[in-house]
Structure formats: structure tokens, C-alpha cells
Amino acid sequence: MRQTWRWFGPRDLTSVDDMRQAGVEGVVSALHHVATGAVWTPGEIRRRQDAIGRMKDGRPSGLAWEVIESLPVSEDIKKQKGDWRGHIANYKQSLANLAESGLETICYNFMPVLDWTRTDLAYRVDHGGTCMRFDLIDFAAFDIHILKRSGAAESFGREVADAAGERFATMSEARKVELASNVTAGLPGSTESMSTQDVLRHIGEYDAVDAARLRANFVAFLEEVTPVAEKLGMRLCCHPDDPPFPLLGLPRIMSTADDYRHVLGAVDSPANGMTLCSGSLGARSDNDLPAIMREFAPRVHFLHLRNVTLETPGTPSSFHEAEHLGGNTDMVALIAEIVKEEARRKAEGRADHQIPMRPDHGQDIIDDLGRKGQPGYPTIGRLKGLAELRGIMTALTHPAVQLRP
């Protein structure tokens, strides 16, 4: 695996110098300041490349921007409303500009309204560090009693709705404000967030978009952009839903192996691929991560390696971000499948035989605590995770180790 690191740009508390010291080989970044649906211009792309290429003292960093995360898909495209055709044209132009700058791997998602969703951004764990958490009861309390979405109580079922009512009744005003802020925090790295009224307005615009319609809109988007990506020698890789189940009465269509089978089969091109996020998919107990990697291996273009601990049975479930080698996913078994796929690609002569991976999320530990960095992206917590993942990768690729086919 090619070891990469997500960087949110010059305002990121983790510096380019820090990434060098972490020993990463490449950088994952995006132009978060560019409005969704607008064209990423060559000038803006070059500015980000230049920032990554220099250390604080001006010396070359030896690092390059290697993966885009994310080139966002607009809500208009997802709903096929408003200026969705113009946004697709802009997406194609952005792809062309990125390819001209030497960038080939594009991560994106197709989640309606909200991206990743958590109820706690600094949940205290036993060792004293903090992590992100999704508490199903707290989320139901937000949906039913703060957002007051029509039909919310019925969508959760009697047991969860009753528990949410009891939880909300004892919730402080400060916690209510914090909960609403956490749920509507927006994209990682984004300067945008939404009020509860914004969320309700967006939900209302999906009134005629069920799962089948959203899936059809997604396939239509891919039919437009995938041929462009293929011609440019690029790889598109869709990130799974996070969490991988419907929220706020909205469909989520990239949560299971069946979802990926449909979308990758509908637009059957090597340029149409998958970002395998072990944390997002791992938040469903019925997702077998090593099996998913084995099935979709030739179309896996990017890896997010992290782990979650499921706190309740079934789907949907409460969960929190675990240490990278903890949680419910067998990370050794998953990386073994990745190593096998890389060996297969290398034997075929594929130029992309080394799959870019980044240590996704991480627990805030040691000096991360109180630093007020990007939620989920602590410097030391991710460095610890990278070291653990690097250890597994090194062991599994050592000549003394023979992996069974």
C-alpha cells in the first residue's frame, strides 16, 4: 500500500513538515474553499500542489498531491434538480484540469444532505483519549425533538423513539445545542455548516427521491463522468455511506456489497471504482470487510483504514471510533486481502498495483487533546494508527511470510 495522509490545506494544524516526519509517501487533499458545483481551476490546483511541495523553511518537501478527497457531487446532481446539468459539465472540466496537473485518483461520495454524521466529536474512552461517536438514541432525539422532522418517531420504531424521548427530557440546553451542531457539522474540512432549518429545507427537496430514484440518478451521473475519467486515465472511487444506513428519512445507497455490485455493474469500467473505507462499512455488522475487499479487489482504487466498535446489535447501531487494530473489523485479515490484490496487479503489470491508503480518523491522544484540530483527524492519533497499519503491512509482505492464495 502507498502510505498517504489527509491534509486540509494551509489552515490544517498538521503541517507538511509533520507529514514528512510521519513518513508518509503522498498526500490526500481537496479544494474545500471552492463552492460545490464550481470548476476547480488550474490555478487553484497548482496552488495546493505548491503548498504540499514546500516545507515551512521553503525547502522541497518531497511530497506530492496524489489523491483528491473529495471532488464533491452537488445536491443538484443527486436530486437532478436545479442546475444539475451545468454541475456535471463543471465536474468534467474539473476532471480535465486535475488530469492536466497529473492527478489521477478521485474520491467522492453520493450521500444526500449530510456527509459523515456523528453525535459526539470528543467522546471519552477508557484510556482518557477521545474519539468520534454515533449514538443512535441521541440521533433519534435530535431528529424527533430538535429537528422535529415529520414522521421521525415512526422511522425509528417505538423502543428507540421512547428512549430518545427519555434522553431528551434530561438533556441540558448546552447539550442540545452541541448535539445539533455535531450532527450538522458538514463535510470534513468544509467551511460550511447547516442550521436545522437548512437541513429541513434540504430534506424537503428530496420529497420525490427514494432509494431507487437516487440510485438511478447516481448511475446517470456515472454514465456522464466515467467515460471522461477513463479517457483521461483517471480512477473514480466512491466512498461508502457513513453511517451505512438511512438517516433523516433519506435514502443511502452505498452501504453494502449489494450496493456496490449494482453501481459498479451498471457502469462497468475500470475507471468506476470503490474507496474501501473499513470504518464506514464496518459500522454494519453484516458487512464482511475482508470478503468485500476480495470481491471488489480489481476496482478498489483507494483505501481508508480505520475501525469502529459496535455498541448495539443490528442495523442501525450505535458505534464509536476504535483504535485501528481494535474494533469489530479484523484489520490483519483485511490487509492480507489487500496485499494479495497488490501482488496480483503487479504480476499483471498494472501501473496502479500499489493502492493508496491513508490511516483514517484516529483517537485524540496525548497532545491532540485540547488542540482543537479537525474532528476525527488528530495528528498523534493518526500517526499511531499509521504505525500499526505499517507494521501489519511490513510483516505480511516480508519474504518469510507466505500468504495462502
Catalytic residues: 239, 277, 304, 360-361, 377
Cα 20 to Cα 57, 355, 366, distances in angstroms: 13, 20, 20
- Please, are residues 123 and 130 in contact by the beta-carbon 8 Å criterion? yes
In angstroms, the CA 339 to CA 397 distance is 7
Can you state the angle between helices 42-52 and 84-100, rounded to 10 degrees?
A: 50
Decide: helix, strand or coil at residue 131.
strand
Q: CA-based angle 381:274:330, to the nearest 5?
A: 50
**From its phi and psi, is residue 305 left (phi > 0), alpha (psi between -120 and 50) or beta?**
beta
Residue in the structure block whose three cell numbers are 432549518: 197
Shortest CA distance to 257 belongs to which of 279, 286, 298, 216?
286
- Please, are residues 42 and 100 in contact by the beta-carbon 8 Å criterion? yes
